[in-house]
Amino acid sequence: MTDHLIDPAASHEKLLIIDFGSQVTQLIARRLRELNVYCEIHPYQNVDDAFLAEFAPKAVIFSGGPCSVIDEGSPRPPEGVYDLGVPILGICYGQQVMMQGLGGLVERGHGTAEFGRAYVVPHGELELLQGWFEGDKEQVWMSHGDHVSKIAPGFEVYGTSPNAPYAITADVSRNFYAVQFHPEVHHTPNGAKLYENFVRMAGFSGDWTMGAYREQAIAAIREQVGDAHVICGLSGGVDSSVAAVLLHEAIGDQLTCVFVDHGLLRKNEAEEVVKMFRDNYHMKLIHADERDLFLGELDGQSDPETKRKIIGKLFIDVFQKYANEIEDAKFLAQGTLYPDVIESVSFSGGPSVTIKSHHNVGGLPEKMGLKLVEPLRELFKDEVRALGAELGLPQSFIGRHPFPGPGLAIRCPGEITRAKLEILREADAVFIDQIRKHGLYDDIWQAFVAILPVKTVGVMGDGRTYDYACALRAVTSVDGMTADYYPFEHDFLGETATRIINEVPGINRVTYDITSKPPGTIEWE
Ligand code: XMP
């Protein structure tokens, strides 16, 4: 562990996932989290006998992977893993590596490859399969070219598929289990049951709960930070809000949050954030009102990339300016999440760590000589929300739609003016109000209004109007990488358009953006 990592799992029962490079290793972790089991994914290169001794797992899972065990130099677990005396589950490549390591045989394809849906039929009783095979076969997801042609001594076959005679194998006396398919993926509909059985058999008590996490994370933050000061950039988004509240609970006044108002926030947003954290939580909070600076620099700019660059640079300058005023600051808090830090196996040059650079303070820790404190780095997004609830943050904060760092600037194509921003804020507030009133907020991943750089002619009462057109945008998505437009009822759209035109001076035409991503992006710039 590097010195900036906290280890909230120190006293938890731990499961080790040895990663051989599968695309879906994260999903194994996800399934285990759902069972309240703490696990860590480590690339096989980093796992040696010393690591195993220190980590002391209660059980081990070998992930799948893209290599062939037949090839020289292909990934292997350390041999000592088989002597730990703990249950091991091998998946796909993990099965093959286990069979080969323990004296079985793996061969290449020749008509035995299987990709996609397959059906496994049972072959005898096995505790790992309890609750499975309610029918006479189970759907599973296969993705293998090589196959096991001879199982290792001590193993028996408990399930077969047309192209995998050793689809499910086990050496019950040693608690070693190995399957050819991927129980962690959606297309193995009952796969979670396998993990449930595995962790039960391994003796996990399910001690990975949010309440326990909270206590341990607080202890770990205190230990890491000592009596130094921590700076936390607060945007009002879920991650930074939860990180701030957790840190505050741990170190109180040693924490100072910096909230930068760049003049591109939504209606009442600055007031709400400041009120919540300063008045409710009594946090030390710097409200950096830098609206004039940002809007001044953006004046006359209409190119999307130029706007983003201006905002990004100013943000860092401003953040640094305020952070420099905080005495004895040694740490910068970031709301980095688990999917951002999972070490993935790179077959082109050793393990690589992907860490999301925070949109707004990227590069700052090095520049300012600060160490990082990342109290959410063990959590998935929905777990961050659960922790937020555990910490008493209101649902209105926890369940918020994502909001981009550059704010309304990228929802105002063309030139940004204060007048247009004001119109946009009002229209956006009406749209979100409509969505909430109709009970749709949680079904939609993100929703907002963009004000278009075009005025159109209309007629209101007996008079001609010449005002801005706006576009409503509402999408469904899982991760923001792909998205589809939300299929509102026509009545909803009609009612919303009427409300916006009636209630928001400056807009006389409303359109609904029905572009998916790809080919569009979610934001307009
Ligand atoms: P796009 O428009 O690329 O957006 O489809 C995908 C998601 O990312 C958000 N987004 C940003 N978030 N800083 C952020 O913090 C940014 O610069 C940024 N640009 C886009 C966007 O709101 C959507 O949720």
- 257 an active-site residue? no
What the chain holds in terms of domains, given with CATH numbers, is 14-201 (3.40.50.880), 210-398 (3.40.50.620), 417-512 (3.30.300.10)
What was the pLDDT predicted at 62? Answer: 98
Look at strands 343-344 and 352-353 and give their pairing. Answer: antiparallel
225 is in an annotated binding site: no
* 525 vs 522: CA distance, rounded Å: 9
Beta bridge partners of 111: none
* 189 vs 173: CA distance, rounded Å: 28
My answer on whether omega of the bond before 8 falls inside 30° of 0, hence cis, is: no
237 is in an annotated binding site: yes
Tell me the CA–centroid distance for residue 206 and ligand 1, in Å. Answer: 36
* 253 vs 250: CA distance, rounded Å: 10
Q: Report, in this order, helix, strand and coil percent for the chain, each rounded to 5.
A: 35, 25, 40
235 is in an annotated binding site: yes
The CB of 236 under 6 Å from ligand 1? The reply is no
- Nearest-atom number in ligand 1 for the CA of 237 is 15
∠ CA 333-339-343, rounded to 5°? 95
The CB of 101 under 6 Å from ligand 1? The reply is no
The CB of 240 under 6 Å from ligand 1? The reply is no
3-state secondary structure 444-494: CCEEEEEEEEEEEEEEECCEEEEEEEEEEEEEECCCCCCEEECCCCHHHHH
- Nearest-atom number in ligand 1 for the CA of 308 is 17
Look at strands 138-144 and 114-122 and give their pairing. Answer: antiparallel
What was the pLDDT predicted at 358? Answer: 36
270, 235 in Cβ contact below 8 A?
Answer: no
Catalytic residue among 12, 13, 40, 92: 92
Closest Cα to residue 470, out of 499, 446, 450? 450
Sequence length of the chain is 525
- 184 an active-site residue? yes
What was the pLDDT predicted at 413? Answer: 98
What was the pLDDT predicted at 510? Answer: 98
Tell me the CA–centroid distance for residue 404 and ligand 1, in Å. Answer: 5
Which are the contacts of 338, defined by CB distance < 8 A and separation ≥ 6? 29, 376, 377, 378, 379, 380, 383
The CB of 407 under 6 Å from ligand 1? The reply is no
CA distances from 238 to 273, 335, 383, 386 (A): 11, 9, 11, 11
- 92 an active-site residue? yes
The CB of 191 under 6 Å from ligand 1? The reply is no
What was the pLDDT predicted at 3? Answer: 37
* 324 vs 318: CA distance, rounded Å: 10
Whose Cα sits closest to atom 12 in ligand 1? 404
What was the pLDDT predicted at 114? Answer: 72
Catalytic residue among 184, 269, 290, 374: 184
124, 158 in Cβ contact below 8 A?
Answer: yes
Whose Cα sits closest to atom 21 in ligand 1? 404
Catalytic residue among 12, 144, 147, 182: 182
The CB of 480 under 6 Å from ligand 1? The reply is yes
What was the pLDDT predicted at 6? Answer: 43
pLDDT in tens, the chain (525 residues): 333 344 545 568 999 999 998 878 888 988 998 899 998 889 999 999 999 999 999 999 999 998 889 998 999 999 999 999 999 999 999 999 999 999 999 988 666 677 788 899 999 999 999 998 878 899 998 887 788 889 999 999 999 998 888 999 999 999 999 999 999 988 898 999 999 999 999 999 998 888 888 998 999 999 999 999 999 999 988 999 999 999 999 999 999 999 999 999 999 999 999 999 999 999 999 999 999 999 999 999 999 999 999 999 999 899 889 988 998 899 999 888 876 655 433 333 333 343 333 344 556 777 778 899 999 987 888 889 999 999 999 988 899 999 998 999 999 999 999 999 999 999 999 999 999 999 999 999 999 999 999 999 999 888 999 999 999 999 998 778 788 999 999 999 999 999 999 999 999 999 999 999 889 999 999
Tokens describing residue 316: 């860092």
What was the pLDDT predicted at 396? Answer: 85
Tell me the CA–centroid distance for residue 403 and ligand 1, in Å. Answer: 7
> What pTM was estimated for this model as a whole?
0.74
The CB of 522 under 6 Å from ligand 1? The reply is yes
- Nearest-atom number in ligand 1 for the CA of 524 is 2
My answer on whether omega of the bond before 519 falls inside 30° of 0, hence cis, is: yes
The CB of 446 under 6 Å from ligand 1? The reply is yes
